[in-house]
A and B are shown apart, each in its own frame.
Chain A
């Protein structure tokens, strides 16, 4: 038998396919009701959902509205509901969300939709501000760095990864029905300081989150953990804050 070399693919001839993107459109200036609109996009296996949205906006319908900044999973602008689940459009490859069927793209739930995929993030950031996401200390400023051991740093490493994209908070069934709930993202960012050995505002933050709209609203559905594009163990972080509250009570 003789070996038959496969003909090398010509440069630039990457296999492409056509994918249907079904987008939930909403424009309050045109109609008070949202509608679904389908677009056909020519895509490659290496394309992300964000690339498909760009193609639609640049080549088919310039009125399509969505947020994105860095487009590389760091800025947290493009959280949206893709095939029923919260994800970052810039971190989701089309080939991973079954491009054989129409891919549905909707705005994240529970935050007011302003237009198409853009939601009003203000209620989300208001909760974030409430937990005081900054270092609180007392006494004189040290002349050098505030030191901590590698173990102390590792204690809250997971929750430093948050990019405030709201994928977790808007995946939470409690937050869908109770917009007053602080939500996973605010608790994650409180966790980041509560367990920081350099910070002295832990008790204040625990007081804030001991509210009836605080950590005890969490029903451990793990939707937030599944949705987090940074892989933060969100539900675990919330449970750790709950445990810290129990521990300080005794």
Chain B
């Protein structure tokens, strides 16, 4: 183990790692929204400029980015509901781990429905 100045990494369990994931996805979504507000605002410049910028979303790199964005939004949303229940449902703390696995299961179901269609659009031509 290298000599880290802060000591070793704290070995938290599901609760800690879901909190880390919530933070990371939250920050990612925030940056996307920032960019999205800017690219939409280009409509004020000219319709041609707007079309050029929105057209870049067709690139496959953007397609993969969108897949990541949807994944981040979906997991952030389901885990967010879990966090609200942990705080305000009397039995929320007791069932927090179960609720996390339910959130993850819902995430898998939603992504299984979304990803094939989206990737076909991204890579299959139009």
Contact = CB atoms under 8 A, between A and B. Distances in A.
Interface stretch (A56-64, A88-96, A194-202, A231-239): A231-239
A13 to B, nearest CB: 35
B93 interface: yes
B7 A24 contact: yes
Interface-central residue, A104, A109, A171, A221, by most chain B CB under 10 Å: A221
Interface string A21-41: 010100000000111100000
A246 interface: yes
B5 interface: yes
Interface string B106-124: 0000000000000000000
**B-side interface size class:** 20 to 34
Interface string B9-28: 11111111011000000000
B86 interface: yes
Contact of B10 (A35, A223, A243): A223
B10 A33 contact: no
Chain B, interface SS category: loop
A171 B19 CA distance: 14
Interface in A2-28: 22, 24
A35 B96 CA distance: 38
B48 interface: no
A33 B5 CA distance: 8
Given A221-B15, A246-B88, A236 B10 contact: no
A130 B19 CA distance: 28
B83 A226 contact: no
B15 A239 contact: no
A225 B5 CA distance: 26
A81 interface: yes
Interface in A105-144: 106-107, 109
Interface string B25-59: 00000000000000000000000000000000000
A221 B96 CA distance: 10
Nearest to A240: B90
A180 interface: no
A130 to B, nearest CB: 23
25 contacts: A24-B7, A34-B3, A34-B5, A35-B3, A84-B8, A84-B11, A85-B11, A173-B12, A173-B19, A219-B19, A220-B86, A220-B96, A221-B12, A221-B15, A222-B15, A222-B16, A222-B96, A223-B13, A223-B15, A223-B16, A225-B15, A226-B12, A236-B94, A239-B86, A243-B87
Interface of A: 22, 24, 33-36, 81, 83-85, 104, 106-107, 109, 171, 173, 219-223, 225-226, 233, 235-236, 239, 242-243, 246
Given A226-B12, A243-B87, 13 more contacts: A24-B7, A34-B5, A81-B8, A83-B11, A106-B8, A109-B7, A173-B16, A223-B10, A226-B15, A236-B93, A236-B94, A239-B93, A246-B88
